[in-house]
Amino acid sequence: MGEKLKRLKFFFVALVLLCPVFVLSQVQERFPKPDFESGYVRPDLLTPAPRAAVWEYMDIFVLVVALSLATYFAHKQRSRRNIFLLMVFSLVYFGFYRKGCVCSVGAVQNVSYALFNPAYIIPVSIILFFVFPIVFALFYGRTFCAAVCPLGAIQDAVILKPVHVPEWLASLLGVFPYVYLGLAVLFAATGAGFIICQYDPFIGFFRFGADFNMVILGLSVLLLGTIVARPYCRFLCPYGVILSWMSRLSRRHVRITPDECNKCRLCEESCPFGAIKKADDESQPIKKEGDVKRMAVIFVLLPVVVFGSGWVGSRLDISLSRLHPTVSLAEEVLLENSGKRTEMIDATKAFRASGKPSEELFSDANSIQNQFHKGGWILGAFIGLILCLKLISLFIRRRQLEYDVDKGICLSCGRCFAYCPYEQVRLGLMTPEELRELDRRDVKIKQFRA
């Protein structure tokens, strides 16, 4: 027994001494496979399969059906109730059941990753998740946002007492989605990671678990969402930028009134998202003095601003590229090679074990930094352009003849429908005579005031 223990001790000491040699070498047949005499049969290694492809197609099917229903509810039925019910269904299905992955918002990154990395094979289901809401928005407006997107749904469900965000502030905050979109595309295209998924504030709720910071972020966005309706959708969502542009071009878009607008102003405060364009007072001309001059100034400044912000973007290349794993690894290796740090970290240990020469890593990191340099130019110029266009759009004033939705902002949620007296007539809750009577009274009041 003592002999055995001694041998065991020796064995361990030898092994501990040899440890540095062995740690990095793997898969070695140090011990021969045993020959069993007792008729022992080796158990199988179980390899449970991932979710079957059928279910991925099921998701796409649900997406298309939900989009069609949302469009039908908003355009034909004009029923806020049905839109809300569909929204709850989407929250449960795409959010809590599918755990929020993959969503159309995140698919933006897969698409840009696929476009710039030939090695990445993008699954068809992700392409369809990306394309379908866009196509629907191009024809019918943002019905996806209204009732299909789980991120929108969870925020819509907590709207309690929405405050009116001043137009200039909303316009200013509206720049953030463009910045976020630009950054997400840059990071995805260079392979640095998917930041939209990483900083998704609601995914923790869908999964009933996230790290502490993300839970705090999610809770604060939801808390903010009680007074500022759908803050993520309006002031952050990168996919919303794309949908908003599609919606602006849409052939058919929901209108507040099913018939005509009598400018009764009843719908004025009904939209929590500030998407209702008020009708102009026809008796007063639109003030235009100075606008042309200001616009001309912006047009002259436009190339300067675009170039300047492009330059700023390109100067950020080094700090942005640090988010790329290859670049950050190269920096760590460089730190060790130069002797500034003597102790290895996990990442550099793994790199050195792989036997890849440092020079190769450095040249890889260098080419990635070059990509970031180019990308930084494009991103900066893009943001500059957006800023200028936002400014210009403030000076473009078109005569608004009736109350209508701003196609870019409107989510087709259907909240305003019921405020319109013509909608009440359509639903049979009011007779046309009553409406005419109301109109007549309204005209009289106006005359009285005048």
DSSP string, 53-121: HHHHHHHHHHHHHHHHHHHHIIIII--HHHHHHHHHHHIIIIIIITTT-S-HHHHHHHHHHHHH-TTPP
CB closer to other proteins, 194 vs 311: 194
Q: Does residue 93 bind other proteins (CB under 8 A)? A: no
Site for other proteins in 137-166 (CB under 8 A): 138
Stretch that binds other proteins, among 97-105, 227-235, 305-313, 427-435 (CB under 8 A): 97-105
Among 2, 33, 339, 448, binds other proteins (CB under 8 A): 33
- Residue 357: how many CB atoms within 10 A of its CB? 8
Q: Does 287 contact other proteins by CB under 8 A?
A: no
Burial class (CB in 10 A: 0-12, 13-18, 19+), 154: buried
Mark residues 390-429: x for contact with other proteins by CB under 8 A, - for none.
Answer: ----------------------------------------
Question: What gap in Å lies between CA 362 and CA 72, rounded to an integer?
Answer: 55
Measured from the CB atom, is 102 or 425 closer to other proteins? 102
CB of 79 to other proteins, least distance (A): 27
- Identified binder of other proteins from the candidate list 191, 258, 308, 325, rule CB under 8 A: 325
Asked if 271 contacts 412 with a C-beta cutoff of 8 angstroms, the reply is: no
For other proteins, which stretch binds (CB under 8 A), given 23-31, 277-285, 355-363, 437-445? 23-31
- Under the binding rule (CB under 8 A), the answer on residue 286 touching other proteins is no
Phi, psi for residue 405 in degrees, rounded to 5: -85, 150
Q: Is 335 in the site for other proteins (CB under 8 A)?
A: no
Q: Residue count at the site for other proteins (CB under 8 A)?
A: 78
Among 284, 342, 354, 447, binds other proteins (CB under 8 A): 354
In sequence order, the 6+-apart residues with CB closer than 8 A to the CB of 353 are 24
Question: Which of 179, 305, 345, 391 is close enough to bind other proteins by CB under 8 A?
Answer: 345
Among 2, 48, 290, 428, binds other proteins (CB under 8 A): 48
29 near other proteins (CB under 8 A): yes
The answer to whether residue 47 forms part of the interface with other proteins (CB under 8 A) is: yes
Contact flag: residue 122 with other proteins (CB under 8 A) = yes
Name which of 28 and 447 has its Cβ closer to other proteins. 28
Q: Classify 404 as helix, strand or coil.
A: strand
Residue choice 65, 304, 318, 353 for contact with other proteins (CB under 8 A): 353
19 part of the interface to other proteins, by CB under 8 A: yes
Q: Are 438 and 295 in contact (CB under 8 A)?
A: no
Give the Cα separation of 120 and 106 in Å (integer). Answer: 16
Instruction: Please give the torsion angle defined by the CA atoms of residues 23, 25, 31 and 32, in that order, rounded to the nearest 10 degrees.
Output: 170
Q: Supply the Cα-derived Rg of the chain in whole angstroms.
A: 30
Tell me how far apart the alpha carbons of residues 67 and 147 are, in angstroms, rounded to a whole number.
8
Pure H helices in 212-265: 212-225, 231-235, 238-248
Hey, which residues does 404 pair with through a beta bridge? 277
Indicate the helix (H) or strand (E) that contains 405: strand 404-405
299 forms part of the interface with other proteins (CB under 8 A): no
Q: Give the bridge partners for 276, in sequence order.
A: 405
CA atoms within a 13 Å half-sphere pointing along the CA-CB vector of 54 = 2
Is 288 a binding residue for other proteins by CB under 8 A? The answer is: no
The answer to whether 212 contacts other proteins (rule: CB under 8 A) is no
Instruction: Say how far apart CA 164 and CA 296 lie, in whole Å.
Output: 31
Binding mask 166-205 for other proteins (x = CB under 8 A): ---------------------------xx--xx----x--
Number of other residues whose CB lies within 10 A of the CB of residue 387: 19
Answer yes or no whether residue 258 interacts with other proteins by CB under 8 A.
Answer: no
Could you say which of 3, 38, 212, 290 contacts other proteins (CB under 8 A)?
38
Length of the chain equals 450
Q: Is 135 in the site for other proteins (CB under 8 A)?
A: yes
Among 90, 104, 125, 247, binds other proteins (CB under 8 A): 125
Binding status of residue 102 toward other proteins by CB under 8 A = yes
